[in-house]
């Protein structure tokens, strides 16, 4: 397959070169950061950091170190594969070949675009299955986190695929139709449809989608339920209820979260969390989550996502009209069918390459939000209980206590353990 650069315009050649440079730079930086993380964790594996002495055992610290190293090595291999796959779909002509197969079979109507995109996701999903299997049944199993059976894994795969088709095909069809029928401002109408769809999913997820994968039972621990209710009332919040999710059937990891919007908003505890934390610690964790609502972190994040998605649709609206956008990424534009589906797929493939380097900015804002939520928890509950809960979760989830500073700045959405506990100590 001939690279597009050999048969393209100057604009196409320039964009091709930029895409290749950023793609390889992204892979190089990912591997370099992973190498730094591995080096840092290995250097501190032999001893528990001073700040955690007496709280985290040496065996737990070393287990977390080994888990982190295994994750990073797996991540580097997966990143290399993803890069090869990206280049295969684009400049080496994979998407162009798929288009030449699909278009004659489906004609030039709306179904052409839908079938092309679904075929792409089907092939891409199949190529990613070995990585998912290895992560779940080798890496997670090796460190005692995987509780999923092969049957449950297959069930989840089938169910998520069916739900994806039911929820995704209608919005996909609407966007493709708008691209062809709504004129030069199609991207604005498409964004409005996409935004409404996203908000609908937020409402549907806790009451319709999530129960298809997990069982949610009302919290039965009377003491914890009363404390949680009192805390919510004290903080001026309401929720549909408190639920316990059977997360243990898939993983030994623990978590708690708020989900939903409006009347569908609810508090969910993993069943694994209830077995690991005391009522005092659970109250402190819940107070932290309430801190995110107090400071409107969730609302701000939703607004930011909507703004960025509007910008993305506007850019797509412009790029979809540029011949060089297609040729630079290895695709020959259709002459007998609309190019809307090709534009969507190419934008989806190339977009992460051009946005990768803003990831540290988003991570920085997220860490700031976590510090604020921790401070709020210290005001509404006992800061020492939150501190001890975090220590327990760090240990049980095998979270490294000695990450590389630059790696953490680039990726971590939560502050590293040392920084977070120091901040908590300053609050109490």
- Please state the residue numbers annotated as binding site for Zn(2+): 288, 292, 370
CB count in 10 Å sphere of residue 192: 13
Q: Is residue 396 among the annotated active site residues?
A: no
Q: What string of H, E and C letters represents the secondary structure of 37-84?
A: HHHHHHHCCCCCCHHHCCCCCHHHHHHHHHHHHHHHHHHHHHHHHHHH
Residue 41 near residue 69, CB atoms below 8 Å: yes
3-state secondary structure of 180: helix
Nearest one of 401, 397, 395 to 60, comparing CA atoms = 395
- Binding-site annotation: residue ranges: 288, 292, 370
3-state secondary structure of 217: strand
Name the strand (E) or helix (H) holding 421: helix 417-427
Among residues 140, 369, 374, 404, which one is catalytic?
374
Among residues 289, 369, 396, 404, which one is catalytic?
289
Name the strand (E) or helix (H) holding 245: strand 242-245
Residue 395 near residue 60, CB atoms below 8 Å: yes
Residue 49, C-beta contacts closer than 8 angstroms, at least 6 positions apart:
61, 401, 402, 418
Query: Phi/psi class of residue 54: alpha, beta or left (left: φ > 0; alpha: ψ in -120 to 50)?
Result: left
Residue 103, C-beta contacts closer than 8 angstroms, at least 6 positions apart:
112, 116, 334, 336, 337
Pairing of strands 242-245, 216-218: antiparallel
Name the strand (E) or helix (H) holding 244: strand 242-245
Pairing of strands 216-218, 256-259: unpaired
Residue 58, C-beta contacts closer than 8 angstroms, at least 6 positions apart:
47, 48
| Whole-angstrom distance, CA of residue 67 vs CA of residue 46 | 15
Nearest one of 6, 54, 27 to 388, comparing CA atoms = 54
Q: Is residue 140 among the annotated active site residues?
A: no
* Catalytic residue IDs: 289, 374
């Amino acid at each position: 397959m001939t690279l597009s650069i050999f048969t393209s315009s100057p604009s196409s050649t320039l964009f091709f070169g930029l895409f290749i440079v950023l793609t390889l730079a992204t892979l190089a930086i990912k591997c370099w950061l992973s190498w730094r993380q591995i080096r840092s964790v290995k250097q501190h594996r032999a001893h528990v950091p001073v700040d955690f002495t007496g709280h985290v055992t040496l065996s737990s610290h070393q287990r977390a170190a080994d888990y982190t190293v295994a994750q990073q090595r797996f991540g580097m291999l997966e990143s290399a594969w993803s890069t090869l796959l990206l280049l295969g779909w684009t400049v080496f002509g994979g998407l162009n070949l798929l288009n030449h197969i699909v278009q004659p079979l489906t004609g030039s109507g709306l179904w052409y675009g839908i079938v092309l995109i679904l075929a792409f996701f089907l092939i891409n999903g199949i190529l990613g299955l070995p990585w998912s299997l290895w992560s779940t049944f080798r890496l997670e199993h090796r460190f005692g986190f995987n509780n999923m059976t092969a049957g449950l894994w297959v069930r989840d795969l089938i169910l998520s695929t069916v739900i994806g088709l039911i929820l995704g095909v209608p919005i996909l069809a609407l966007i493709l139709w708008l691209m062809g029928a709504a004129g030069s401002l199609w991207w604005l109408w498409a964004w409005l449809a996409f935004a409404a769809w996203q908000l609908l999913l937020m409402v549907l997820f806790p009451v319709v989608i999530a129960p298809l994968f997990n069982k949610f039972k009302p919290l039965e621990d009377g003491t914890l339920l009363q404390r949680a209710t009192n805390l919510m009332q004290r903080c001026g919040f309401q929720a549909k209820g408190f639920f316990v999710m059977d997360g243990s059937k898939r993983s030994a990891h623990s978590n708690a979260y708020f989900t939903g919007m409006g009347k569908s908003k609810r508090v969910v505890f993993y069943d694994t969390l209830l077995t690991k934390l005391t009522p005092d610690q659970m109250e402190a964790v819940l107070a932290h989550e309430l801190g995110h609502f107090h400071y409107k972190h969730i609302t701000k994040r939703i607004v930011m996502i909507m703004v960025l998605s509007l910008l993305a649709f506007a850019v797509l609206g412009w790029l979809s009209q540029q011949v060089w956008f297609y040729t630079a990424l290895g695709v020959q534009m259709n002459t007998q069918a609309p190019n809307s589906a090709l534009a969507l797929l190419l934008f989806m493939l190339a977009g992460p390459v051009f946005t990768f380097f803003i990831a540290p900015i988003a991570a920085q804002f997220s860490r700031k939000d976590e510090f604020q939520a921790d401070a709020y928890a210290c005001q509404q509950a006992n800061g020492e209980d939150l501190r001890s809960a975090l220590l327990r979760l760090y240990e049980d989830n095998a979270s490294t206590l000695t990450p590389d500073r630059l790696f953490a700045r680039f990726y971590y959405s939560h502050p590293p353990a040392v920084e977070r506990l120091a901040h908590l100590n300053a609050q109490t």
